[in-house]
C-alpha cells in the first residue's frame, strides 16, 4: 500500500477509538419525565393558559352583520370626505362651480386669463351728455385688435357700458359731469362681465374716471371784472361830454370818480360774486373715441 492509504486507515481507526465517536444514547432523562408527568395532559396542566381573547368561540361561517359602532364610524368617515368643488357636465361642455367652496377663485387650468390693466381703443355708438341720468346704457366698438396669450380680440369687438353718475353745471363754477363704465364684453358670441373704466376721451386723459365740463369760476371772476371795466369806461365818456361846456367842466370829474369806485368795488367783490356762476355743459356725440382699461382680471372659459 502506498503511504497515503496507510495514513487514511490509521486516521479512521483513531477516530473510532475516541469517546466522541461512540454513539451511546442516554434514555434516563426521558424515563424520568414519563414517570413524573402525563405527556397527554402536559400542555393543559403545566403550560400557562391562553389569553381570554383567544378562548372566544369562532364566528359562524355566515358573514356577520357589522356592529352599530362600525356603522357609525363608516358614516362619519363618509361625511368627513370633502365635496368636489367643480363638477363638469360633459354633455354640454359647461362648468359648474360649487358656490360653497369659498377658496375657489375661478383661476383654474381651464380659464383664459386677461389681466387687469389691459387697454382697448374703442369708438362710441351712443351720444351721451350731462342731461342723461345715471344708469343710461351705451355701446362701444373696438377700433384696433388686441392680442393676449391664448386669445385675440379683433377690431370690431363690442363693449357695453353705462353712465354711473352725471349732473349738469351747478354753482361755484362747476361744469357738467359724466362718469362712464364698461361692464360687458361680447366675444365670439359669448358675453362676459367686466369691470373697466374710461381713461381717455377724444385723446384727453380722464382722471378719477370723471369727464367734466369746463369750470366757470375763473371765467365768472373775469366777467365781473369786465363789468366793472365797462362801468368805468361809461363814466369816463360822461365826464368827457360834461367837460365840453363851461358849466359841465366843474362837474365833469364826478362821473369819473364814481366809475373808479365802482370798478374797485367790483374787482374786490368778484371772487365772491363768481360763486354764483356755472360751468359749461358736457356732450359727447356718437363716434367719440375712448380708451377702456380693465380694473379687474377677466377669466374666459
- Domain ranges in the chain? 112-215+282-300, 217-276
Task: pLDDT band for 196, please (50, 70, 90 cuts).
Answer: very high
pLDDT at 51 (0 to 100): 56
Cell numbers at 255, concatenated: 362821473
Check whether 91 has a pLDDT greater than 90.
no
135-154 residues labelled b (16+ CB within 10 A) or e (exposed): ebebbbebeeebeeeeeebe
Please tell me whether the overall predicted TM-score, pTM, comes out greater than 0.85 for this model: no
Q: Mean pLDDT throughout 245-271?
A: 81
Q: Please, what's the largest Cα pairwise distance for the chain?
A: 190
The per-residue pLDDT for 27 is 56
Beta strands in 62-215 (DSSP E): 86-89, 94-97, 112-114, 119-124, 128-129, 137-142, 146-148, 151-153, 158-167, 177-187, 190-201, 204-205, 211-212
What is the pLDDT of the chain when averaged over all its residues?
A: 75
* Residue whose C-alpha cell reads 383661476 in the numeric block: 107
Q: Are 132 and 165 in contact (CB under 8 A)?
A: no
- State percent of the chain over pLDDT 70: 66
* Mean pLDDT value across residues 142-146: 96
137-162 mean pLDDT: 95
Contacts of 285 (CB under 8 A, 6+ apart): 127
DSSP H/E element including 298: strand 298-300
CA distance 166 to 211: 9
Under the banding of pLDDT at 50, 70 and 90, the label for residue 141 is: very high
> Rounded distance, CA 274 to CA 171, Å?
9
Q: Does residue 264 contact residue 103 with C-beta atoms inside 8 Å?
A: no
* pLDDT above 70: residue 36: no
Lowest mean pLDDT among 48-52, 81-85, 126-130: 81-85
Return the closest-CA partner of residue 115 out of 299, 301, 269, 255. 299
Number of C-alpha atoms within 13 angstroms, CB side, residue 249?
3
The grid coordinates listed for 180 are: 362712464
Contact 232, 225 (CB under 8 A): no
Grade residue 49 by pLDDT with cuts at 50, 70 and 90. low
Assigned superfamily of 112-215+282-300:
Type IV secretion system, VirB10/TraB/TrbI (2.40.128.260)
Q: What is the DSSP string of 184-226?
A: EEEETTEEEEEEEEEEEETTEE-STT-EEPPP-HHHHHHHHHH
Q: Among 74-88, 237-251, 283-297, where is mean pLDDT lowest?
A: 74-88
Cell triple for 184: 360687458
Amino acid at each position: 500500500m502506498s503511504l497515503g492509504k496507510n495514513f487514511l486507515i490509521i486516521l479512521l481507526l483513531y477516530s473510532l477509538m475516541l469517546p466522541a465517536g461512540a454513539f451511546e444514547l442516554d434514555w434516563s432523562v426521558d424515563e424520568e419525565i414519563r414517570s413524573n408527568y402525563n405527556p397527554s395532559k402536559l400542555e393543559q396542566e403545566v403550560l400557562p393558559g391562553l389569553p381570554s381573547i383567544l378562548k372566544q368561540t369562532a364566528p359562524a361561517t355566515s358573514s356577520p352583520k357589522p356592529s352599530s359602532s362600525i356603522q357609525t364610524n363608516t358614516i362619519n368617515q363618509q361625511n368627513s370626505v370633502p365635496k368636489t368643488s367643480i363638477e363638469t357636465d360633459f354633455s354640454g361642455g359647461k362648468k359648474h362651480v360649487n358656490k360653497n367652496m369659498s377658496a375657489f377663485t375661478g383661476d383654474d387650468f381651464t380659464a383664459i386669463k386677461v389681466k387687469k390693466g389691459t387697454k382697448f381703443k374703442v369708438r362710441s355708438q351712443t351720444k351721451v351728455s350731462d342731461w342723461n341720468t345715471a344708469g343710461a346704457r351705451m355701446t362701444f366698438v373696438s377700433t384696433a385688435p388686441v392680442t393676449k396669450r391664448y386669445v385675440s380680440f379683433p377690431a370690431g369687438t363690442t363693449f357695453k357700458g353705462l353712465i354711473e353718475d352725471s349732473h349738469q353745471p351747478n354753482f361755484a363754477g362747476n361744469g357738467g359731469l359724466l362718469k362712464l363704465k364698461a361692464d360687458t364684453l361680447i366675444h365670439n358670441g359669448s358675453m362676459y362681465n367686466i369691470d373697466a373704466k374710461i381713461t381717455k376721451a377724444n385723446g384727453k386723459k380722464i382722471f378719477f374716471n370723471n369727464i367734466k365740463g369746463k369750470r366757470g369760476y375763473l371765467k365768472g371772476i373775469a366777467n365781473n371784472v369786465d363789468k366793472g371795466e365797462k362801468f368805468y369806461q361809461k363814466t369816463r365818456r360822461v365826464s368827457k361830454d360834461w367837460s365840453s361846456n363851461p358849466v359841465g367842466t366843474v362837474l365833469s370829474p364826478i362821473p369819473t370818480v364814481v366809475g373808479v369806485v365802482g370798478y374797485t368795488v367790483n374787482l374786490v367783490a368778484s371772487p365772491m360774486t363768481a360763486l354764483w356762476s356755472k360751468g359749461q355743459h358736457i356732450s359727447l356725440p356718437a363716434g367719440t373715441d375712448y380708451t377702456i382699461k380693465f380694473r379687474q382680471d377677466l377669466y374666459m372659459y
